[in-house]
Amino acid sequence: MRRYLIAGNWKMNTTRQSGVALASELAAAAAKEEAGVEVLACPPYPYLLPVGEKLAGSAVRLGAQDAYFEAPGAFTGEIAVEMVKDCGCQYVILGHSERRHVMGETDATINRKVRAVISGGLTAVLCVGELLSERQAGQTEAVLDRQMDGGYSGISESEAASIVIAYEPVWAIGTGVTATPEQAESAHEHLRKWLARRYNAAFSEKVRILYGGSVKADNAESLLGQPNVDGALVGGASLKAATFVPIIEAARKLAAGG
Ligand code: PEP
């Protein structure tokens, strides 16, 4: 049984004050460890420490939205894996579509970051997903295969245990358009088969595959109820406890048997 992971990607949002206030509400909503659901908050870098302080003692994990692959040194503007670890992060989101398509990150760059995060002892949330034009051209599975081949390049099975996948169709991110539960399930099943081919079937069954793309309270249960959907990476709806906590609750309900 895979444990649900409900992750909030705050992107370049919140102030220190509003981020800390949100963290307090999340800490109250997920105060204790739960067998069925894990909760993660990924604030902007400058707020990692104050947000982490508010989350301390709760069950909410702290994550970063990116990290550079080099060790600390002369890389102006970048943030090293050991720095986000030092701030209390356990997870790092990598290869988010905004980093791929706005900042121009390639699969090769993302792979270096994945390896740096794993060797730093953290868990990578590796995002993959197709553009609308790619879906319309029938290329979804080919795009996912390419991103998985790139992201997992040179990574052993034991290292791959420190990767969570997030399937995020680009056309569904921040658009209000959500993949149907069937579209999400089909992509997740494809990703799990890729893992079974690359590693083995037993390993593929252990990997958590999150869905991301306009997840909200009203669609969370139907998406999370799919057999291969093991959680959600939530953008817009993660910025308020009132919209994020119901997604956690949907996962709790399903983890408790529906
Ligand atoms: C995201 O940021 O990864 C995301 C899925 O955003 P949204 O939930 O706003 O679509």
pLDDT (0 to 100) of residue 258: 81
Catalytic residue among 98, 105, 130, 168: 168
140 CB near ligand 1 (under 6 Å): no
Q: Is 182 labeled as catalytic in the residue annotation? A: no
Q: Tally the domains of the chain.
A: 1
Closest residue by Cα to atom 6, ligand 1, is 235
Cα gap 222→41, rounded to integer Å: 22
What residue numbers bound the domain in which 187 lies?
4-255
Angle between helical axes of 140-151 and 181-198 (0-180°, round to 10): 40
Residues pairing with 4 in the sheet: 37
Stretches where the chain sits below pLDDT 50 are none
Q: What is the pLDDT of residue 81?
A: 98
**Cβ of 66 below 6 Å from ligand 1:** no
What CATH number corresponds to the domain at position 129?
3.20.20.70
Q: Is 168 a catalytic residue?
A: yes
CA distances from 221 to 92, 235, 252 (A): 25, 17, 10
Query: 236 CB less than 6 Å from ligand 1?
Result: yes
Q: Which pLDDT tens digit goes with each residue over 175-219?
A: 999 999 999 999 999 999 999 999 999 999 999 999 999 999 999
Q: Is 235 close to ligand 1, i.e. is its CB under 6 Å away?
A: yes
Packing angle of the helix pair 48-55, 16-29 (nearest 10 deg): 20
Q: What is the 3-state secondary structure (H, E, C) of 151-206?
A: HCCCCCHHHHCCEEEEECCHHHCCCCCCCCHHHHHHHHHHHHHHHHHHCCHHHHHH
Report how far ligand 1's centroid is from the alpha carbon of 183 (Å). Answer: 17
Burial class (CB in 10 A: 0-12, 13-18, 19+), 92: buried
Answer yes or no: pTM beyond 0.85.
yes
Q: What pLDDT shows up at residue 1?
A: 80
